[in-house]
Structure 1
């Protein structure tokens, strides 16, 4: 695991003169995040350590994960190109290299979302049926827009979805986006949050041909199930990898309407179809899923 840099607001403001009023937001994965003001607007500022190459015994080695830069470039590119209002937007500063107090870093800015992520919300409550419908419709719009770029987000989960204060949902963090037309970034390893993997994501050898927007659709279905019922459809705390893998591949969870009082049965059926074990068992098009969800929303 790459150690995150230790930065202070004063160091950032001194190094990036266009940014003021810097405040810490948090740490996670390979990034440390701050908020800051640029030209009168507040944005999120994301920093990671840049790879440092050293020469030893005539071989080039990297002190840090070289994929950090590639993933950051892909995240920035996806935010810049994605047209959905439900995908977080790139801020005024794209990907740049910078040195702060001897630390060689990469950073970029993005839209600052005011609200709470679904992981935080789940600690206090489940979503109502109408909120689950809105979640499904809006994040499916984002999935469709990402797929127009021939990319799969590959990390849809409660921690990467924000509920804005205005009641709308937005998808974050395209750093693991899988480009069907590009090179793999995972070097033979499974990447992402495994308890939100679709069954086909475990098939590393064939994933380039079988993974598409329906893998993201599966992860969204898992998230909708979890936010509706309070429980993950496949994972129970303490499950080992083998037990979890077996559940994802073979287990059919109890439909949400059997767990939640007055939960619409037709919405429950949509979620269960999104959890189909094979891509062809899910919806053939994002537009088809959106149409079905909107029909449920109109009667809820």
Structure 2
């Protein structure tokens, strides 16, 4: 859309109409007078509304069922107070926004109430909730909102020294919140840093949705439109119709500022207006071109040149993080190929397999040294197999389709038929199963493990007992991952006798199987036998001189996991002193070896938080979990089970502490993430749903609680059987 004509453009236009000079001057002067008049009117209205906020609510002031505690801040047309519930149903702190009394007219009251009801329907973890609202006896319109303990997004980024990718992840969260609002026909119209808070665990909370139409809280009191000038879209400044693409523009401006550290538009009011209308802003430097193009597309001065929706913008940002092509950039083979190379982290496991195969014979099952032509031919056969996987995914042959790790692995299964030697085939199937498992593709890993076992059984067992035992461990791990604990138990008991025969040469592998069996027994709530097994594992780890085995981590790393398992068993037996002793051992040892394996730090810390939970030390638990969460979010993406577990555990801790709003919000995020990743019957999904059910019960939301508890009971019976203690607890 075009900009407003300048004075010179008006003069040129009138001259072409053959209008006299005096008439031209009169018309132009009227325009100048009109603009000055409306500027003065806006200023007067702003001053009047600001003056009407000259009130103070004392501590203890009652609003419905809430009691005012303290003033949190003041904007151009509203004051915000922290308040608490007074009805003793449960502890809850809220933020109450009191609007200017000048807005208490019949017109605004109707709009305000309709808007409040609409906003109350928004239910998203990244949107600050609206609980209630109305008008006080003194005539103050108010909204009761979720109280977010945290800081603005800019302050959070500065204090935590976030990387560009971490900032992009926050922007994506803001985008999800905006898209949710758009799906409910709500526009924001005033997206800026002060309206985006980050809570204590690093989650975005978008505030002030939908009230920008009449609430213009500009820090500089420049109210020429519904929102803040520096974040306004060109169409907002022109007074043209506002759409979802207007919010998208503001999200782009916010992204520019957060990524670069500087606002794209600088100067006095009129300078900023002209920069926005002309689409003039500095070039982003020091970031990848794809991100520059995404932000630039969202900030196009013409709405038609922006993304179709905020969801489309989010998709491009997610593709940027995953090193996939973005729609904002013209497509080409060279572009796709460069991204494929950059994102080879996804396929590095396969590349590593090739390197291992070509550089050493140790990866080939029982072949320790290549001494015969027959053994060298087996190495070559695996080499050719892995090479065919990558050849079949040549970008020139893929016809423009995206190449992913999953596609490479899928083609690998097709190439397996070319391998004739059953031993080589078994090794390769086991290797691919492990790769699938590490990519989180558990359902796909299982059949490969089973096929590998069949091929091993078709060859003489002598000489590769260790490989078969390792395969049993992998099959058991697969069953455990999909919450089939009895099957996991049975298969491990096939591995242990094989390894006990090799205890002198492979003690760590035997200890690892004892440890895995102890953990499965722990999950089955068979704590006495679990304790016996983990004690066997710990004894071997503590007394062996062997530092590493082919299928284990180092002795010290394995010992960390064993101590943690022992502490978990003691925890479930309510022997909390013993649990603390062994968990402190695991933490101390894990700190020394965190560079070798990140889990040796994270798993003991998580267990420490659970022990604090059993002790009723909820503040200590939250402190540990926040440390763990902040560490995990730097490493894992949002769909990683380890990061989701941090959120779920935090939700449980906040619920136990009595912070129901925070607890439910976190548990809902975790539940939806687990449900999407693992389905409704997985142990992680069920555990989080159980936490939500308990919370709803405590809040006397019995119908919702009953619905959740019933789903938990059905899943537990399916996973654990009728006789499991958890099932008995579900009935209670």
Task: Map residues 198-277 of structure 1 onto 2, 5 A cutoff.
Answer: 198-204=233-239, 207-208=240-241, 211-236=242-267, 239-241=268-270, 243-256=271-284, 258=285, 260=286, 263-277=287-301
Instruction: Tell me the distance in 1 between the aligned counterparts of 2:116 and 2:269.
Output: 35
Instruction: Tell me the distance in 1 between the aligned counterparts of 2:56 and 2:106.
Output: 20
Normalized per residue, the structure richer in strand is 1
Corresponding position of 2:59: 9
Normalized per residue, the structure richer in helix is 2
Give how far 1:151 is off: 3.1
Shift of the 24–245 alpha-carbon distance from structure 1 to 2, 3 Å rule, reads: closer
Corresponding position of 2:93: 42
Instruction: Tell me the distance in 1 between the aligned counterparts of 2:113 and 2:275.
Output: 35
Give how far 1:116 is off: 0.6
Tell me if structure 1 keeps the 8 A contact 2:126–2:176: yes
Deviations, residues 237-274 of structure 1 (Å, cap 9, x unaligned)? xx241x22221122443332x1x4xx333122211111
Task: Map residues 183-202 of structure 1 onto 2, 5 A cutoff.
Answer: 190-202=225-237
Instruction: Tell me the distance in 1 between the aligned counterparts of 2:274 and 2:151.
Output: 32
1:159 aligns with 2:194: yes
Deviations, residues 64-113 of structure 1 (Å, cap 9, x unaligned)? 7776545643552343122332221112xx222223xxx43222211111
Deviations, residues 212-231 of structure 1 (Å, cap 9, x unaligned)? 11111111111111111121
Q: Which runs of 4+ in 1 moved over 6 A?
A: 64-67, 122-126
Corresponding position of 1:279: 303
What SS does structure 1 have at the residue aligned with 2:113? Answer: helix
Shift of the 129–74 alpha-carbon distance from structure 1 to 2, 3 Å rule, reads: farther
Deviations, residues 167-201 of structure 1 (Å, cap 9, x unaligned)? 121211125355xxxxx999x96221111111111
Corresponding position of 1:135: 170
What SS does structure 1 have at the residue aligned with 2:230? Answer: helix
Deviates more, 1:283-292 or 1:127-136: 127-136
Deviates more, 1:124-133 or 1:82-91: 124-133
Shift of the 250–48 alpha-carbon distance from structure 1 to 2, 3 Å rule, reads: closer
Instruction: Tell me the distance in 1 between the aligned counterparts of 2:203 and 2:237.
Output: 32
1:87 aligns with 2:127: yes
Corresponding position of 2:431: none
1:170 aligns with 2:221: no
Unpaired segments ≥5 residues, structure 1: 52-61, 179-183
Shift of the 271–189 alpha-carbon distance from structure 1 to 2, 3 Å rule, reads: closer
Instruction: Tell me the distance in 1 between the aligned counterparts of 2:269 and 2:224.
Output: 18
Shift of the 24–130 alpha-carbon distance from structure 1 to 2, 3 Å rule, reads: same
Shift of the 224–189 alpha-carbon distance from structure 1 to 2, 3 Å rule, reads: closer
Task: Map residues 90-101 of structure 1 onto 2, 5 A cutoff.
Answer: 90-91=130-131, 94-99=132-137
Instruction: Tell me the distance in 2 between the aligned counterparts of 1:125 and 1:140.
Output: 21
Give how far 1:25 is off: 1.3
Shift of the 88–23 alpha-carbon distance from structure 1 to 2, 3 Å rule, reads: same
Shift of the 132–150 alpha-carbon distance from structure 1 to 2, 3 Å rule, reads: same
What SS does structure 1 have at the residue aligned with 2:308? Answer: coil
Instruction: Tell me the distance in 1 between the aligned counterparts of 2:71 and 2:306.
Output: 41
Corresponding position of 2:71: 24
Tell me if structure 2 keeps the 8 A contact 1:71–1:185: no
Give how far 1:132 is off: 2.6
Deviations, residues 11-37 of structure 1 (Å, cap 9, x unaligned)? x1xx34733472321111222211122
What SS does structure 2 have at the residue aligned with 1:107? Answer: strand
Tell me if structure 2 keeps the 8 A contact 1:198–1:218: yes
What SS does structure 2 have at the residue aligned with 1:234? Answer: coil
Shift of the 288–49 alpha-carbon distance from structure 1 to 2, 3 Å rule, reads: closer
Corresponding position of 1:57: none
What SS does structure 2 have at the residue aligned with 1:108? Answer: strand
Indicate the structure (1 or 2) with the bigger Cα radius of gyration: 2
Instruction: Tell me the distance in 1 between the aligned counterparts of 2:251 and 2:82.
Output: 28
Deviations, residues 129-176 of structure 1 (Å, cap 9, x unaligned)? 123312321122122222223332110011111122211212111253
Shift of the 48–247 alpha-carbon distance from structure 1 to 2, 3 Å rule, reads: closer
Instruction: Tell me the distance in 2 between the aligned counterparts of 1:212 and 1:126.
Output: 34
Aligned length: 264
Higher RCO, 1 or 2 (CA under 8 Å, sep at least 6)?
Answer: 1
